[in-house]
Structure 1
């Protein structure tokens, strides 16, 4: 890349973080900033005691580096940019780290539905609310494998299994052993395998790793500040501890949140700040729009608009540029054009199949049509532990 083009790109990114000013002021600031800080999104405040150390060995591109020292004010500045400008930067960061034509198709199956003792106000599977979802037993091994095969044949390269448990310790070793067998068998099919089973201790995380689990999903749902308005039966710190156990076991972390819970924009900024200042960014960041389930306390919540989704996706892409950003729950309400805008903003994964746990979701054929129309192709599986082991070497 020529020095002239490089300087132009750096200048563009600096204008993005600094806001609109006169051309002469921008030129003056660009010259002085270049000497002081050649990386446009990298903090120069070494005295920021609240920041984690920069994960500098993973900086692949100096316009949108992989950082772990984001200040909340910086993320707020990114989040509040004019939407089209923000989408442009999300799209640019996406193209630096990923093939923009590739969208990973994932399938999420509820292998144990209903009867959950938690009180998450958005969830149709909570035993605290009358939602019409009945408690069921853990699915049989062969039935789960059949669903995984169907998903693979339909183009999914990641298969995720969800159980409505507080955590693995709630159900004991027998049922957990059945899940471990499912993980091993599905991994043997050449698919990424993800699970979301609630709280995990260190030993349980290691057992999942040894069974071949690729990723573990445990969302933070919302900001630490707003969390108690949504969930009281599980502490925020418990979620963070489970993520720590997963990471230490060498399993890929899948962690994101839900918008539309009644939170403010600042809560969304706070959630992204928590995710982007983890010791290592989550490999996957699901962005969910609330699906208001009848019978839950949030059944009358205002629907989330596509502009809010795009803003969340694009900001996540800028501050965690190497993560998979997954357009997750709520996609069924979006048109193909609205989904295309989300892909442009930086999303590069979807969940496909007629249900997302218990909520409606676009079916395989519908997604086939959309991907063909948009010129998108599926993303092959990626096995995190191979990269993890290389980093430890």
Structure 2
């Protein structure tokens, strides 16, 4: 199947709304044509700076303006972050993502410390990812020089629904950051959240934006909202597994080689539901007890699931030159 960046909304809508079993079959076929269907990448996400964010993202418990149970903490010591990265690697993760509740990256001592963290995790032979808010191309180049492999910056929802969720930055701000990341030759990780009160048309619109970028994101996280008390979306109903499957399967069909990440909301899924997501084309999960500040399945439970479903963890830097490992002393 050819990689296309000229999908129309109508084409994506037709795929998204096809009968669910047909959709899963089609997505599973595309997945097997383009990826090893038994292979799932295990990633770990650590909040290196939590809470106190000046933005007003309606889903986020880290926004300073909402009264949630999130405890604010400043940037963690580098040694502590590297210890957590080693722990993640030892438990099977091959990508380590560091998140900071910032509106944007600023050129200060905290950013210098993040660059040191990136260098440290990279030296362990793991793919390093960061999600730090908006950043300039110069800052992206600094992260690249430090060894950053991927940068996460989600679109969250469609451009049309976006203003209902966030007013403190624009959709174009998000797209500009993705462009800065791409120009710095850093792998782009960008997806969104369903369950924000959006329509099916909004979900299709978000997928259309992602699939028509100059290059498809290397990684597309599909999150289901985990409503948090104290946020404007605390009363939102739970997203069904079938809605997640439609998003995952459609993403797989229109972006055949992207890593489609089964992200937030997985804690509410049993093994059978997750198996359907993997069949529909998901090939990455986040491991560890938390996704920034929301709960995540236990690592032991995930290992049992991998054994039952005969899944194998994807190696770091797959598809990249393996010399990355040879260049790292002691790995």
If the TM-score is normalised by the length of the shorter chain, which range does it land in?
over 0.9
Q: For residue 292 of structure 2, what is the aligned residue in structure 1?
A: 357
Q: Give the one of 124, 128, 132 matched to 2:61.
A: 124
In the TM superposition, structure 1's runs of 4+ consecutive aligned residues that sit over 4 Å from their partners are 383-387
Q: For residue 325 of structure 2, what is the aligned residue in structure 1?
A: none
Say whether residues 1:206 and 2:141 are aligned partners.
yes
Q: Give the one of 42, 51, 57 matched to 1:105.
A: 42
Secondary structure in 1 matching 2:182: helix
Alpha-carbon distance, 1:134 to partner: 2.5
Secondary structure in 1 matching 2:97: strand
Alpha-carbon distance, 1:382 to partner: 1.6
Say whether residues 1:89 and 2:26 are aligned partners.
yes
Q: What is the rounded CA distance, in whole Å, between the counterparts of 1:161 and 1:283 in structure 2?
A: 18
| Greater C-alpha Rg | 1
Alpha-carbon distance, 1:383 to partner: 6.4
Q: Structure 1 or 2: larger helix share?
A: 1
Contact 1:157–1:379 (CA under 8 A) maintained in structure 2? yes
Q: For residue 252 of structure 2, what is the aligned residue in structure 1?
A: 317
Q: What is the rounded CA distance, in whole Å, between the counterparts of 1:85 and 1:297 in structure 2?
A: 36
Q: For residue 42 of structure 1, what is the aligned residue in structure 2?
A: none
Q: What is the rounded CA distance, in whole Å, between the counterparts of 2:318 and 2:93 in structure 1?
A: 15
* Unpaired segments ≥5 residues, structure 1: 1-63, 388-393
Q: What is the rounded CA distance, in whole Å, between the counterparts of 2:280 and 2:320 in structure 1?
A: 28
Secondary structure in 2 matching 1:351: strand
Contact 1:251–1:385 (CA under 8 A) maintained in structure 2? no
Q: What is the rounded CA distance, in whole Å, between the counterparts of 2:214 and 2:151 in structure 1?
A: 17
* Unpaired segments ≥5 residues, structure 2: 323-331
Give the aligned length.
322
Cα displacement string for residues 81-113 of structure 1 (whole angstroms, at most 9, x for unaligned residues)? 000000001101110111111000000000000
Say whether residues 1:335 and 2:270 are aligned partners.
yes
Q: Give the one of 256, 260, 263 matched to 2:198.
A: 263
Q: For residue 371 of structure 1, what is the aligned residue in structure 2?
A: 306
Contact 1:214–1:384 (CA under 8 A) maintained in structure 2? no
Q: For residue 226 of structure 1, what is the aligned residue in structure 2?
A: 161
Q: Give the TM-score, by structure 1 length.
A: 0.81
Matches within 5 A, 1:168-247: 168-169=105-106, 172-247=107-182
Indicate how the Cα distance of structure 1 residues 321 and 275 shifts in structure 2: closer, same or farther if over 3 A, else same: same
Q: What is the rounded CA distance, in whole Å, between the counterparts of 2:305 and 2:318 in structure 1?
A: 27
Q: Give the one of 138, 143, 153 matched to 2:80.
A: 143
Q: Give the TM-score, by structure 2 length.
A: 0.96
Structure 1 vs Structure 2 CA RMSD: 1.1
Secondary structure in 1 matching 2:160: coil
Contact 1:251–1:384 (CA under 8 A) maintained in structure 2? no
